[in-house]
Amino acid sequence: MPLELLVFDLDGTLIDSKLDLALSVNATRADLKLPPLPHETIFSYVGNGAPALIRRALGEGASEEQFQRSLQFFLDYYRAHMLENTRLYPGIRETLDRLAMAGVQMAVLTNKPVRFSRDLIRGLGLADRFSAVYGGNSFDTKKPNPEGLRHLMAELHAAPQETMVVGDSGIDVQTARSAGAWSCGVTYGFQPETFADNPPDFLVNTPAELLKIVGNARQGGLSGRPSELARPAGDGGLPAE
């Protein structure tokens, strides 16, 4: 079947937001007079949404009252500073432009709060590239639960075998697999090591390599069904420029 819909993760896939997230987490800890965490430690906490990030950043000793106060502090601080250092990964804008020119439908499904996600996408000049953007509070569940992905497929009229999830972690692979969709992992993001336990159907090192997968799929369709074996992008596909 041809590939009709690409569903992208946000942090670690489209945008490099690590520094702004780390600075916001450590500002939250400072508000409680806690010492800063190493940035690499914070990066490893990203991917399951803001509440999970702050719970892990505060540690098991934080009370529920401290957690709720700190979560609100983090959300307020991050909203004010989230575009100071955050950038698109190299090649993302060009790749999205080529995909749009080829008529591929694109959407974003992230565990980041939806208001932040849409503001980031708008601030980075990508709002017109996506048919829909949903976040971690758009549905009753977050990834890896497939609820959001199934909603997107229904909304945009794409069957599971016509859909591919593109992300930087095993969470994205699990989401795709649970909905019967294809998965493509990116190695340049936050948590590529998680692909060891959750191998995607395809694996790319740069955004441009995604054009090869999509081009081949639209020419001949993706054969079979989503597998549990990672495959490289291969040759051919849409032109990169």
Q: How many helices (H) and strands (E) does the chain have?
A: 9, 9
9 is catalytic: yes
Cα distances from 195 to residues 168, 198, 219, 235, in angstroms, run 8, 5, 28, 23
From 9, 11, 20, 172, active-site residue? 9
Q: How many CB atoms lie within 10 A of CB 161?
A: 18
What's the angle, vertex CA 11, arms to CA 143 and CA 88, rounded to 5? 150
Instruction: For 126, list phi and psi in degrees, rounded to 5.
Output: -115, 5
Longest dimension (CA), the chain: 58
In a 3-state reduction of DSSP, which class is residue 4? coil
Catalytic residues: 9
